[in-house]
Chains A and B, each alone.
Chain A
Amino acid sequence: MGFKWDHFFVTGEPMIYGAMVSIVLVSLAIVIGLTKFKKWGYLWTEWLTTVDHKRIGVMYILCALLMLFRGGVDALLMRAQLAGPDLKILDAQHYNEIFTTHGLIMILFMAMPFIIGLMNIVIPLQIGARDVAFPYLNAVSFWLFFAGAMLLNVSFIIGGSPDAGWTAYFPLAGKEFSPGVGNNYYAIALQIAGLGTLMTGINFIVTILKMRAPGMTLMKMPMFTWSILITNVIILFAFPVLTVALALMMFDRMFGAQFFTMANGGMDMLWANLFWIWGHPEVYIVILPAFGIYSEIISTFSRKNLYGYKSMVVSMIAISALSFVVWVHHFYTMGQGAMVNGFFSITTMAISIPTGVKIFNWLFTMRKGKIEFTVPMLYALAFIPIFTIGGVTGVMLAMASADYQYHNTMFLVAHFHYVLIPGTVFAVIAGFYYWFPKVFGFKLDEKIGKITFWFITISFNVTFFPLFILGLKGMTRRTFTYSAESGFGPLNLIATIGSIGLAIGFILLVYNIYYSVRYAPRETNGDPWNARTLEWSTSSPIAPYNFAVIPTIDSLDPFWKSKKEGTSLLKGKIKDIHMPSNSGIPFILGAAFMAFGFFLIFEWWVPTIIFSIPILICLIARSFQRDHGFHIHKEEVIETEKKLRGDQYEEQASV
């Protein structure tokens, strides 16, 4: 029958009771607010049923920011518990749940949606297209992600969070040692969100390959677009492995299979193997878009073409291929022999080389350029040296024999935070500042932004550098406390102080959004940074159809070229524009998956089967649907262009 009702609500923890109360209050506030201001209709027609890539991107990023808050609170709780020896803020069980959710949320529900959100907003605009190849599928991707995120997020109050680490190794993650519902949440929530991501992979590869503006050959694409193309290729081939691994976990935990058990022919190490075959490409999925963002920002704010375009492309292709042959470095100490470890040490060291090429290309881009120290550029400049520290410690870890000393110590924790934060997190923050005015028509405040930058950058190093030393001194990862005799106290205290600085930084980031909504001057020209690529040639806010006339291009950085030469990109007559229709099915599908997933997690089979029915109905409805979209008539397009561009309308387009 599955889990009983007394396992339903998590009890006995004051912080969790507090969270339950806040969730109820916030949900009530949202419902009451929407009703009072009569916004339910608006919410449904403009957001819940949208298939517009720009709106979908905004929703992804909003979720990512909320998850950044949640993952950050997890981090602060951990750092509070570790601030001194033998503290009693969190017990071991609670600590385990927190480091597990911290990892899951930050990687899968913060970094991934932030990147996917940015790719959604920017890619069609950068390639001169009106939307992605499959707008309906795009909406499905978002709502599946949302369903998975919601499921994972309720786990800590309903049933209990997963607690076996974000890597969920067996046998700990199996039924015998984790009998509760927690790791069922892991298996199902990640599975649902992962389906959405795979669909995104297909969508963006077709979009980039087939929907570029005339004249934009592959080697004339912006570097961010290249990075997204390659990232989505990795997604396409890596995520199916996760799908299988999670399904096998589900069969073991819920149906008594023997994949990862310790008796009857199971092999627990098989889990680690499968997880990391996905897991290593996954970290390249989160870093390549960051490299693309930095390429855009560094080129724009050095007022120069990106140096070494071809080698940038080749290096990313090399990284994507190599990323599938390094995975064993995540478990050098698990018992396979020296020959295996040796092979993977070599491939792991090799994969650092293409990244090194990119670092030099960024430096050469800046050389003899006119550097403008805007907030996005500051993050890019900080990224280069700090990420390099993360990278070279990665090469240290790559040597299998040396790794026997570093593995699963705080040295490893410091390494991956030194690549993930200056790499991915700084990049998405920089991208957020950079593209924000394109979407909303005003910049985030530069002064607050710079203060935020310094808080975050300095505090990051104060938090994580001591962890290298702690690791070398012998402090293991994933431990909820340590003794005074160990001598780990002082460095941990420094790290905790740093984490408070990071918290202040992120509060300032959010405050900047509020402040700028209220006070920032509204721009009308759509090109606040004097930038180079096609997305900046549109108005801000952007017309629903993106481009009144699809531009024809003939070079890299086509917008820069058109500005320098005084020519218009928009040559040609305005015609009726075909647009895809909104649809409520993706939202309903997401809700159905959430319900289906929830009951599956609790192993309540009857409701599970019942909720598979709306899923099937949605698929059948979509198959029989013959909605071919609608047209925006050319008169309306002209009106919109006049409204959005004002005087520049005449210069930009002809009728």
Chain B
Amino acid sequence: MKSKPLYSLGEESSNRILGFWLFLGAEIALFGTLFAVYLTLANNTGSAPTQKELFEMNGVMIETFALLTSSFTIGLVVNAIKLNHKKAFMSFLIITLALGAIFLGVEITEFFTYVHEGATLQSSGALSALFVLLGTHGAHVTFGMFWGIAILIQTYREGITETTANKTFIYSLYWHFLDVVWIFIFSFVYVKGLIG
């Protein structure tokens, strides 16, 4: 007889998880809209640099593997909850956040490079759409960094309880979702832009 995991033990815990899944549904609509805007304006490059000129595959690959691996490590954090292993929990969460920081570092550098090359939010419709799509995802990752630090502190202080387990599981859903969005960005913005 399989018992319920610690993170969804009570009624309130499972309600919070359901609520968050619904929020992710709304986020799918949000990012869907941003993709629609980007794909509509992608060729409207005006007199500004084009995506093919700007994109650097190396940075994209680092970002992709960082985020992918961090999605793996946050899964190890949730697994650590099931094992009630606080040290593993903390270690894997710190690694996850470190990988997130690497992702953000590369992305911020990427943006500065674009601006340096004369491609800004204001340069063309295509670039406005690119910056807002990538920037929204990046802002979500940044928010996730702060959220992750809060969870790190709370679990360090309180241990793995029903409350911290539930919050961590929900955080992991968020983090996985951002990885899924990145997969679509990587495929249909970067790779498509470079082969186009």
Contacts and interface: CB of A to CB of B under 8 A. Distances in A.
In their complex, do chains A and B touch, with some C-beta pair under 8 Å?
yes
Contacts of B30: 240-241, 243-244
Contacts of A236: 22, 25-26, 29
Interface string A113-147: 00000000000000000000110000000000000
B11 A267 contact: no
Given A206-B22, A237-B25, A258 B33 contact: no
A265 B124 contact: yes
29 contacts: A134-B15, A134-B19, A201-B26, A206-B19, A210-B14, A210-B15, A210-B18, A237-B25, A240-B26, A244-B33, A245-B33, A247-B132, A248-B37, A251-B132, A255-B121, A256-B121, A257-B121, A258-B127, A258-B128, A259-B128, A259-B129, A261-B125, A264-B125, A265-B124, A265-B125, A265-B126, A266-B44, A267-B44, A277-B33
Contacts of A255: 121-122
Interface string B145-179: 00100100010000000010001000000000000
A202 B170 CA distance: 15
Interface residues of A, number: 42
A258 B11 contact: no
Nearest to B25: A236
Given A206-B15, A259-B41, A248 B154 contact: no
A102 to B, nearest CB: 28
A624 interface: yes
Contacts of A525: none
Contacts of B29: 236-238, 240-241
A244 B121 contact: no
Nearest to B133: A244
A198 B19 CA distance: 12
B118 interface: no
B46 interface: yes
B37 A274 contact: yes
B46 A264 contact: yes
A306 interface: no
A241 B32 CA distance: 9
Interface in B99-151: 121-129, 131-132, 147, 150
B127 to A, nearest CB: 8
A270 interface: yes
Contact of B26 (A237, A251, A256, A277): A237
A257 B127 CA distance: 9
A265 B25 contact: no
B40 interface: yes
A264 B123 contact: yes
Contacts of A248: 37, 128, 132
Nearest to B163: A626
Which of B25, B150, B167 has the most CB atoms of chain A within a 10 A radius of its CB?
A: B25
Nearest to A203: B19
A620 B15 contact: no
A236 B22 CA distance: 8
Contacts of A203: 19
A198 B26 contact: yes
Contacts of B65: none
Contacts of A133: 15, 19
Interface of A: 133-134, 198, 201-203, 205-206, 209-211, 236-241, 243-245, 247-248, 251-252, 255-259, 261, 263-267, 270, 274, 277, 620, 623-624, 626
B141 to A, nearest CB: 17
Contacts of B48: 264-265
B56 interface: no
B55 to A, nearest CB: 18
A210 B129 CA distance: 39
B84 interface: no
A240 B41 CA distance: 20
Interface string B1-18: 000000000010011101
A261 B18 CA distance: 40
B7 to A, nearest CB: 16
Given A244-B30, A259-B37, A620-B150, A202 B125 contact: no
Contacts of B16: 134
A259 B26 contact: no
A138 to B, nearest CB: 12
A205 B15 CA distance: 10
Nearest to B34: A244
A634 B69 CA distance: 52
A259 B15 CA distance: 39
Contacts of B124: 258, 264-265
A271 to B, nearest CB: 10
